[in-house]
């Protein structure tokens, strides 16, 4: 059974702080990893994807991947109230179909 | 304006009724997907299609049906056999980026049972 685990939260951080969101996955064959942001009542929006071990930065967002530990994280620097949302981690376990397994999401609240 | 559209935004189903959710994309993506999201739950895959006239069942296909007659369109029918259809339905399409597929989502359809 392939699984993706996330702490459901809520994770509360003050405005301007770094928010750290974590995700673990069960299948060592997993090849690509995605972070989506979902505002309440809206559809998921792709923030970042990462394929290789290490860090990938895009503006205030940094994705970190450690395949040996089966761990992927998302750091949000200078958190803003507009970052308050549920963050979904998704893992592609390989194969040609491109299917993703989603975690249940971590709810982030950024307090002004 | 490229993207994925879903209609309607809200849909009400009566007992014993089949309803069809529309999903259209003009991104020229080959693959399309249908997910269901329940409160506090992750997204669960209903059906996916890699090419026209071909589709495969996902984890929770029972009570649903799909068709893929055109590359741009992937409608989902929720049949009367689906006993608990109330959920947020999300359509996605994907493009291969050299190392994997990247999925993008439409705005979703919220289905409610009367």
Percent of all residues in chain B with a pLDDT value above 70, rounded to a whole number: 96
Q: For CA atoms B29, B31, B32, B38, give the dihedral sign.
A: negative
Section B19-23 average pLDDT: 97
Mean pLDDT lowest among B7-16, B33-42, B92-101: B92-101
Q: How far is CA B87 from the centre of its chain?
A: 12
Q: Alpha carbon of A82 to those of A39, A46, A85, A101: distances in Å? A: 10, 16, 8, 26
Does residue A31 contact residue B99 with C-beta atoms inside 8 Å?
A: yes
Identify the pLDDT of residue A97.
Answer: 56
Does residue A105 contact residue A7 with C-beta atoms inside 8 Å?
A: no
Q: How far is CA B49 from the centre of its chain?
A: 10
Section B1-21 average pLDDT: 91
Strand ranges in B1-114 using DSSP code E only, listed in sequence order: 4-7, 10-13, 19-25, 31-37, 43-51, 54-57, 64-66, 76-78, 87-96, 101-105, 109-113
Q: How far is CA B62 from the centre of its chain?
A: 14
Identify the pLDDT of residue A54.
Answer: 95
B102 touches chain A (CB under 8 A): yes
Chain B residues 15-74 with CB within 8 Å of chain A: 31, 33, 40-43, 45, 48, 50, 56, 58
Q: Which residues contact B86 (CB under 8 A, 6 or more apart)?
A: B111, B112, B113
Mean pLDDT lowest among A4-8, A11-15, A17-21, A38-42: A4-8
Identify the pLDDT of residue A96.
Answer: 52
| CA gap B85, B18 in Å, rounded | 11
pLDDT digits (tens, 9 = 90+) for B66-77: 999 999 999 999
pLDDT digits (tens, 9 = 90+) for A43-102: 999 999 999 999 999 999 999 999 999 999 999 999 999 999 999 999 987 655 567 889
CB pairs under 8 A between A and B: 61
Section A24-30 average pLDDT: 87
Mean pLDDT lowest among A29-43, A88-102, B2-16, B68-82: A88-102
Section B7-35 average pLDDT: 94
Distance from CA of B25 to the nearest CA of A (A): 15
Closest CA in chain A for residue B47: A99
Alpha helix ranges (H) inside chain A: none
pLDDT digits (tens, 9 = 90+) for B82-103: 989 999 999 999 987 776 788 9
């Amino acid at each position: 059974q392939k699984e993706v685990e996330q702490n459901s939260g809520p994770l509360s951080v003050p405005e301007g702080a770094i928010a750290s969101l974590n995700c673990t996955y069960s299948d060592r064959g997993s090849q690509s990893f995605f972070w989506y942001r979902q505002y309440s009542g809206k559809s998921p929006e792709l923030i970042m994807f990462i394929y290789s071990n290490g860090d990938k930065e895009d503006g205030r967002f940094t994705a970190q991947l450690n395949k040996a530990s089966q761990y992927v994280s998302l750091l949000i620097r200078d958190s803003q109230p507009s970052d308050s949302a549920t963050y979904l981690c998704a893992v592609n376990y390989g194969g040609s179909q491109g299917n993703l397994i989603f975690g249940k999401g971590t709810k982030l609240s950024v307090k002004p | 304006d490229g993207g994925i559209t879903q209609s309607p935004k809200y849909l009400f189903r009566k007992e014993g009724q089949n309803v069809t959710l529309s999903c259209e994309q003009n991104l020229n993506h080959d693959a399309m997907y249908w997910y269901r999201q329940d409160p506090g739950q992750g997204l669960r895959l209903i059906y996916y299609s890699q090419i026209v006239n071909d589709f495969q069942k996902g984890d929770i296909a029972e009570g649903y049906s799909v068709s893929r007659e055109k590359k741009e369109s992937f409608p989902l029918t929720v049949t009367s056999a689906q006993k608990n259809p109330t959920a947020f339905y999300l359509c996605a399409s994907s493009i291969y980026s050299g190392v994997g597929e990247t999925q993008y989502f439409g705005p979703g359809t919220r289905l409610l049972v009367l």
